[in-house]
Chains A and B, each alone.
Chain A
Amino acid sequence: MSPTDIYKLLKSDKTGFAGFIVLMCILLMSFVGPFIVPLDTTVKLNEIYQSPSFKYWLGTDNMGRDIFSLIVHGGKDVLIVAILTGFFSTLIAFFLGSFSGFVGGKMDTFLMWIVDVFLTIPRFPLLAVLAAVVTLDNNYLLAALLAALSWPGLARAVRSQVLSIKTRDYIEAARVLDLGTRHIIFKEILPNIMGYVVINFIFAMTAAVYSQVGLIFLGLIPLSGQNWGLMIQFAWVRGAIFYNGSLMYILAPIIVIALFQWSAIAFTRSLETIFNPRLRGAK
């Protein structure tokens, strides 16, 4: 499929395309933006809680810092943790799911029991208790923990896909040709469930943002530096919701997180059309 084809498919679903554009903007802003927009964290007491102006696009916070630059600089950590979590959990889920579906038998029953158990445990309270015991001060540890709790849903989906694909004719043919388990999983089965995997990658990302910002909001992650979650927590603790002047301080990170979540989920609709050829004819 050529890039122009992909672009056409992207544009075919309006909501999905809008999601794609917004998502790209947020990613650009967070990863490229910090090199363009300077961050000035000095306290300026004469410029506290300014309303939006040309100098300060989104106004200033309780220490006179530019909220726009805080938003630009605050996205990187949140998004890195989200992407890492999506990556780790997809990896675990893909391997365990395809293994479980392929091997079958008691192993399959056992793995699915574990999946069942993990799916019933409410994730956020468990994370909160864990965060209170372990000090989660680096991004990788946080992502690993989030991933360790978010793989089961996808693992089950992958397993059922593998189970249904396993018996198809072309897999039988590959078996007869003696192409090996690795070839069958990566060359025959993976392309077929790619759509599933990518879409679940995005869902895992949004779930990671939910849990991560929630944990920060409850003050369970000892973070420093710029971070959307921390902005919300500081603004909340300082009662920013009660004054008109400080409203932007809490609204800006909330809106940017909401936009990210919405655009990521909307984007999955485009991905569905790209990865599922059957949906294309329906338009």
Chain B
Amino acid sequence: MKLIKRLKDPQTYLWILFAGIIASWPTVINKLNPARLGVIGLFFVYIIIELGVLKLIAIRKDIGLYPWLQSSFLLRRLLRMLSTIVFVVTLTFFMIRLMPGNPIEIYIQNQMTSTGMSYQEARDQAAALYQIPLDEPLYLQWLDYLWNMIHGDFGKSYTSPGTPVTKFIVDYLPWTIFSVGTGIMISFIIGTVLGMYIAYKRGGFMDHSLSYFSSITTAIPNYLLGILLLIFLGVQLKIIPVSLMRGTAPPGVPAGFTFTYIFGIFGHAVLPMFTYIVSTVGGWILTMKNTTLNTLGEDYVQVAKARGLKEHRIILNYVGRNAILPLFTTLVMQIGLLMGGSPLIETIFVYKGIGWAMGSALGQRDYPVMQAIFLVITVAVIFANFLADMLYSKLDPRIKTNVAD
């Protein structure tokens, strides 16, 4: 029990940190450069704020920096976002550097056996590929890796030599954001409207059929749904010319705000978008139906009816606004799920977004590209979370005071 008490005490960790710094100081001091110093500095700022160290050393808790930091919702969320990103980067670092059979060791072995390089040469090449200085002590490697990731410096691809990974991301990411984003928007709009409609007409034909449709489509894994769509719309009924739709944009048409180009873009994205819509719309319908039913029973709706307000005004301003609020948290989860599932969906439709790039990197075991795309997808999801939090706190001011922990 004494140990648990110690573990619960943040001061224990402060002492461990302090001892670590003192012990490693002589080696660190020679190797410090502005970049490493910057990362260490960021860490200190982070630890001070997040772990409540300020609470320990703050003499008065009602004035100065501490209450301001705790009261700023935006700042707390920003810190949460940063800490998650650092955590994920650390995770990937350990994955490619320290796991048994990790890609760096394998790469060095392969280079030595296939090209007859010396160990040192192979090691240097691996270091350049991954942007990790392999000759330094481990914690400095980690700091440098963090710094490079913060820069957007993701190393180089194995399979297409000399191409920086950043180029992959710049080329492919926008298409995924476009298709996933548009898909979610359309599905959200259709789902909420239909959900509200069947809440009003509950027990009717539409209610039953839509409920069954929703319970089936939400249960099937979305990539299997994608294959089914491809089979039935593309091959059996030949509604969509599948063979013309590989890639992201129509070939030979210059990019710009011309009708053919924009039409072509939507045409190429239609199958992935349709899959995203079909697999998520059921969820929106069911939740929207529930929240609308709950809202309809509220006092303020009854009062609004008693006041003789116009029907459409009650539906939009009183019921709709309040029923839609709880759906925003789900929206965030959906973004994460769809972005995460994009390697499968985009591989199926050969839609050349970031997911497809990840799928092919996985197939060729192109580790630098793989880890970079994983990081990019994660950061995109984390950022979407952050934006949704901000949006939600604007829409529902109660959240700002409730969340304070």
Which A positions have Cβ atoms within 8 angstroms of B? 15, 103, 105-107, 109, 113, 116-117, 120-126, 128-130, 132-135, 206, 209-210, 213-214, 217-220, 232, 236, 241-242, 247, 250-251, 254, 257-258, 261-262, 264-266
Contact = CB atoms under 8 A, between A and B. Distances in A.
Contact of B230 (A210, A219, A241): A241
B377 A134 contact: no
Interface in B202-226: 215-216, 218-221, 223-224
Contacts of A241: 227, 230-231, 235
Chain B residues touching A, majority SS: helix
B240 to A, nearest CB: 13
B362 to A, nearest CB: 6
Contact of B95 (A117, A121, A129): A129
B358 A117 contact: no
A198 B129 CA distance: 47
Contacts of A247: 231
Chain A residues touching B, majority SS: helix
Given A121-B381, A125-B340, A134-B100, 7 more contacts: A116-B80, A122-B340, A122-B378, A126-B374, A128-B343, A130-B95, A214-B344
Interface in B6-22: 7-10
Contacts of B223: 214, 217
Interface string B308-351: 00000000000000000000000000001101110110010000
A132 B374 CA distance: 12
B343 A133 contact: no
Contacts of A217: 223, 344
B226 to A, nearest CB: 10
Contacts of A251: 231
A269 to B, nearest CB: 9
Contacts of B224: 213, 232, 254, 257-258
Nearest to B359: A218
Contacts of B159: none
Contacts of A105: 8
Contact of B336 (A116, A122, A129, A209): A122
A129 B343 contact: no
B381 A262 contact: no
Contact of A15 (B215, B373, B374): B215
Contacts of B8: 103, 105-107
Contacts of B216: 258, 262
Interface in B84-109: 84, 87-88, 91-92, 95-96, 99-103
Interface of B: 4, 7-10, 52, 80, 83-84, 87-88, 91-92, 95-96, 99-103, 215-216, 218-221, 223-224, 227-228, 230-231, 235, 336-337, 339-341, 343-344, 347, 358-359, 362-363, 365, 367, 370-371, 373-374, 377-378, 381-382, 385, 405
B37 to A, nearest CB: 26
Contacts of B219: 206, 258, 261-262, 264-266
B103 A117 contact: no
B228 to A, nearest CB: 7
Contact of B215 (A107, A135, A214, A262): A262
Contacts of A219: 362-363
Contact of A209 (B221, B231, B359): B221
B139 to A, nearest CB: 21
B352 to A, nearest CB: 16
B268 to A, nearest CB: 19
Contacts of B228: 254
A217 B341 CA distance: 12
A121 B344 contact: no
A186 B52 CA distance: 33
Nearest to A269: B215
B221 A261 contact: yes
20 contacts: A117-B83, A120-B382, A121-B378, A121-B381, A122-B340, A125-B378, A132-B365, A134-B101, A206-B219, A214-B223, A214-B344, A217-B344, A218-B344, A218-B359, A218-B363, A241-B227, A241-B231, A250-B231, A258-B221, A265-B218
